[in-house]
Amino acid sequence: MGDVYRFLATPRWIGFAVGMVLLAATMVWLGRWQLDRYHQRAGVNHRIDASEHAAPVQLTSVLLPKAKPPTSLEWTRVTASGRYDPAHEILVHGRTVDGSVGFEVLTPLVLADGSAVLIDRGWLPPSAGGSRGGTRALPDVPVAPSGVVTVNGRVRLPESRASAPTLIGGRLGTRRISPAAAAAELPYPLYGAYVTLDSQVPLADAKFVPIPASRELAWMNAGYVVQWWMFACLTLYGLGWAIRREAHRDDDHPTDRVAARSRDRAAEAEAVL
């Protein structure tokens, strides 16, 4: 039996076997990476589901001004009371809801201690009268209510690659939401997260479209896990099949061996002639 597999000690087969094992190991690693992504995304969806029916907690009990909260606090349902500051409102352009591109409106809510949190009051389409601007035409923003306002909403973490707001048509505007990036333009300390509005007292203007929860496609990552690990198994199976085939490639049917010897003898006779 040992002689049958002596070919495995040749450089060609050693290189082939090592390459196939490394390829399978890489596929296993990719599957583990996708499994980790699955758990992360499934965790986000779990927090979204849990927040649907959770009672709101005080904003100040879970967040601190200027501090970015941990990922585990995203989608926590919170409540806060204060006064809107429409003079420092920020329009977030290029935002899509139900396939339409428009704006999200961030209005600072100034709390009793002088700090503020950005409230995403909702989505608005571009102004109908600004057709030349297309999706960048500034929306008609309903005026924020005056006086003390109580808001209920869900904590959202800052978005990556955000820059400081700039003036767009006389209004502060940005593409991505980051309280830290916006803080330089505002006269009070900001909380490190923002809040998407669910409800408000007094009632929010009906023109606003609520921002939907962005659920993660965790099932795709679960599918990738299965895919990569199946590929790894097939790679190792292919290695085993190739080794067995090479080891037994001379184990033909007896009649095949007779025919092969006859062909060899005929070839030798022709060579002699």
Per residue in 89-103, pLDDT tens? 999 999 999 889 999
Whole-number pLDDT of residue 149: 96
Instruction: For residues 80 and 60, give the distance between their C-alpha atoms in angstroms, rounded to a whole number.
Output: 8
Whole-number pLDDT of residue 133: 53
Q: Going by C-beta distance under 8 Å and a sequence separation of 6 or more, which residues neighbour residue 179?
A: 117, 118, 158, 190, 191, 192, 193, 194
What does the angle CA 260 – CA 261 – CA 265 come to, to the nearest 5 degrees?
120
Whole-number pLDDT of residue 131: 45
- If phi > 0 it is left, if psi is from -120 to 50 it is alpha, else beta; for residue 237 that is alpha
Tokens of 165: 């707001």
Strands 166-168 and 171-174 come out as: antiparallel
Question: Which residues in the chain land under pLDDT 50?
Answer: 130-131, 257, 260
Whole-number pLDDT of residue 255: 53
Burial class (CB in 10 A: 0-12, 13-18, 19+), 122: buried
For the chain, the C-alpha Rg in angstroms (whole number) is 33
Whole-number pLDDT of residue 248: 80
Whole-number pLDDT of residue 170: 83
